[in-house]
Amino acid sequence: MRVWKGWTRRSDADEYEGYMRRTGLVGYQETEGNRGVHFTRRDVGDNTEFCFVTFWESWDAVRAFAGDDPERAVFYPDDDRYLVDRDWVVTHYDVVETA
């Protein structure tokens, strides 16, 4: 499981969500070995936090999406326009059980 977070101004949140639907979600879903995506958001003060939790069948599948350094976050061309803060690295977990 791979987890990434980024923050926008609350006023940009709806536009960023649409942008990520066209870029990030498509990128995840089109990568062979992707087992699913949870795309979440929540307002925190003046900002909106976005969190992507993705599931992968193998490290090879993660590398097919992220490149040779799977710890590095993947960014898209207009991210700088929207993001006021972001995780530059992602967190990976082994899924022990799903109920």
Domain range for 51 is 2-92
In a domain, 97, yes or no: no
pLDDT of residue 94: 95
In a domain, 98, yes or no: no
pLDDT of residue 86: 98
In a domain, 13, yes or no: yes
In a domain, 66, yes or no: yes
In a domain, 75, yes or no: yes
Residue 63, domain CATH: 3.30.70.100
Residues shown for the chain: 99
**Number of structural domains in the chain:** 1
pLDDT of residue 39: 97
Parallel, antiparallel, or unpaired for β 2-9 and 83-86? Answer: antiparallel
Which tens digit of pLDDT belongs to each residue from 35-53? 999 999 999 999 999 999 9
> Which two tokens mark 92?
């990976």
**pLDDT band for position 9 (cuts 50, 70, 90):** very high
Q: Which amino acid is at 25?
A: L
Number of H helices and E strands in the chain, helices first, is 4, 5
pLDDT of residue 68: 94
pLDDT of residue 46: 97
Cβ(76)–Cβ(65) under 8 Å? no
Helix ranges (H only) for the chain are 13-22, 24-29, 59-66, 79-82
Strand partners, 69: none
